[in-house]
Amino acid sequence: MDASKPLELVYSNVDGLELTLDVFVPESATELAKAPVFIWWHGGGLLQGTRKGTAPHHTLAPARHGLCIVSADYRLAPQTRLPGILADCKAAMDFVRSAAFARATGNRVDASKMVLSGSSAGGWLALLAGTGIGYAACGLELPSPVSGIAALYPISDLSDPFWTTKQHPVSYMPRVVPDDEVAPFLDPAADKVAFSASDSKRAVFYHYMVQEGILESLLLDGTGIPKSAFGVAPSLKTGRFAVPPTYVIHGTIDDKVPCRQARDVVEALRELKADVEYDELPGVDHLFDRDPECDMKNMYAFVARVTGS
């Protein structure tokens, strides 16, 4: 398949709302030699972003690594709170495992070999969906086990002071975002959306959230669920969650998601003697993998190992 023209598949989530996947099936895949599947969720604090935000290495992965890349939309907060977003993640996984997906992809994808991935907030979704953390607290059925998790510069714990400390302005912007600039997106009663283009007015929402330190309220207000239910490292340390092989990567000068969010998860995994690989990149900031020269070689070697491909 031409990487520039993904197969767009539409399916219904648990609330009957339509969501879209971009699916890149490698030309080399056949019914006898099926491609493992790599599901990726975009970042944006669960407030903005789109499945169209894949990096160059993602769209090259079908040809380079023989992977079926699936980029999945999910509903955005605060119009949909975190429990609904987690339900959308499970719905995407279930659809990829469905007969309808197999038919649409010519029965050339092996959904039993599934790696969950995501960047920034999407990395958090991958960690939550891949381990089941947060699902019981949301009253949701646990997702089925996966072959691995690949979390890129992930958010991992709302208890970090980074998410509650106001920054006027944030460290990486020359201005303070005024309330009225984001007012349409702050309204939880506004229309639900699952797609926010990178050049849309909503694209400033993440920066406003960091500026005001309000991620918890945007994701959880009205749910009655404590933020601790979604803390990856503390939850892992309870020993109650099954953990698949996990790869984590983060840059040390990331000022959009602190590197300690990754370090805490890796430390917890190592305490559990889990299968974990960690790449910490000195002097590297957020979204580094969008550089066309970034091939994410170690991540794709991890994916090949855990899928046996």
Strand ranges inside the chain, DSSP E: 7-12, 18-24, 35-41, 68-72, 109-119, 148-152, 246-251, 276-281
Following DSSP, what letter does each residue of 190-240 receive, concatenated?
SPP-S---TTSGGGGHHHHHHHHT-HHHHHHTTT---GGGG-HHHHHHTT-
Angstrom distance (rounded) from CA 76 to CA 185: 10
Angstrom distance (rounded) from CA 2 to CA 22: 12
Pick the CATH number of 7-162+209-307 from 3.30.1330.10, 3.40.640.10, 3.40.190.10, 3.40.50.1820: 3.40.50.1820
Which sequence spans correspond to the domains of the chain?
7-162+209-307
The amino acid present at 175, given as its one-letter code, is R
Angstrom distance (rounded) from CA 148 to CA 151: 10
Query: What pLDDT tens digit does each residue of the chain (309 aa) get?
Result: 444 589 999 998 888 889 999 999 999 999 999 999 999 999 999 999 999 999 999 999 999 999 999 999 999 999 999 999 999 999 999 999 999 999 999 999 999 999 999 999 999 999 999 999 999 999 999 999 999 999 999 999 999 999 999 999 999 999 999 999 999 999 999 999 999 999 999 999 999 999 999 999 999 999 999 999 999 999 999 999 999 999 999 999 999 999 999 999 999 999 999 999 999 999 999 999 999 999 999 999 999 999 998
Report yes or no on whether pTM surpasses 0.95.
yes
